[in-house]
Amino acid sequence: MTSQPDSALHSDAANPSRREQILRAAAQLFAERGSRAVGVDDVGAAVGVTGPAIYRHFASKDAMLAEMLLRISERLLAGGTERIAAAGGSPAAQLRALVDFHVDFALDNPALITVQDRDLGALSDPDARRVRQLQRSYVEEWVAVLTRLHPDASTAACRARAHAVFGLINSTPHSAGRLARPAMAALLADMAVAAATAR
């Protein structure tokens, strides 16, 4: 989205720009200790520069966090929309698609998941509003699917159900590493589907 049209410098994945390096290192540190406990110097040290160098790439520490959270929310929302569309019309298939997507995302980005629901409160008011709006949209995608699966359940119940499933899948960071990735993915997905369809 913010790609410079001309400069083909720093390809995204293999040779990430300093800016991307910083965002990644910061996400890791924020997840481990909480954004408020991490100093600008810590983030700098993690990418091999001093603290103030950060300000060549970000306006402030808060701006880093804001960009981080905005990106996650956007990726989740976009991914959810895409997977639903690709899953056909069956609510069960759509649920499975959403679950698989979210499980993959959580296993691929445990740090981002952790930061997202721990440090949302550290955002400035307008940034927090924007993130919450994106999150809400994503939740509503789940609610729509869950409502079709549970036709006589209230919207509030479906929303609570969606949050509970998120909590289940997002528990990954707390128990990561003990289980091999494919086994963990299968386990979480099965549990999530069972929880989403229970009763």
Partner DNA sequence: GGCAGAGGTTAACCACCGTTCACACTGTCG
Partner DNA sequence: CGACAGTGTGAACGGTGGTTAACCTCTGCC
**CB 112 within 8 Å of CB 68:** yes
139-168 residues near its own copies, rule: CB under 8 A: 154, 156-157, 159-161, 163-168
Verify binding: residue 78, its own copies, rule CB under 8 A: no
Cβ proximity to its own copies, 54 vs 146, nearer residue: 146
Stretch that binds DNA, among 24-32, 41-49, 67-75, 122-130 (CB under 7 A): 41-49
DSSP-assigned states of every residue in 130-199: HHHHHHHHHHHHHHHHHHHHSTTS-HHHHHHHHHHHHHHHTTGGGGTTSS-HHHHHHHHHHHHHHHHH--
Is 121 among the residues that bind its own copies (CB under 8 A)? yes
Q: Near DNA by CB under 7 A, which window of 23-31, 57-65, 68-76, 187-195?
A: 57-65
Nearer to its own copies, 69 or 168 (CB): 168
Residue 5: CB minimum distance to its own copies, A: 40
Interaction between residue 124 and DNA (CB under 7 A): no
Q: State how far Cα 123 lies from the chain centre.
A: 16
- Does position 159 interact with DNA (CB under 7 A)? The reply is no
- Tokens representing 60 are 């402030």
- Tell me the site size for DNA, rule CB under 7 A: 20
- Based on the number of CB atoms within 10 Å of its own CB, is 192 exposed (0-12), middle (13-18) or buried (19 or more)? buried
Largest CA distance in the chain: 58
141-175 in b/e form (b: 16+ CB < 10 A) is bbbebbbeebeeeeeeebbebbeebbebbbebbee
Decide which of its own copies, DNA, none touches 40; Cβ closer than 5 to 8 Å per partner kind: DNA
Among 23, 26, 27, 40, binds DNA (CB under 7 A): 40
Would you tell me which residues interact with DNA (CB under 7 A)?
18, 36-41, 44, 48-53, 55-57, 60-62
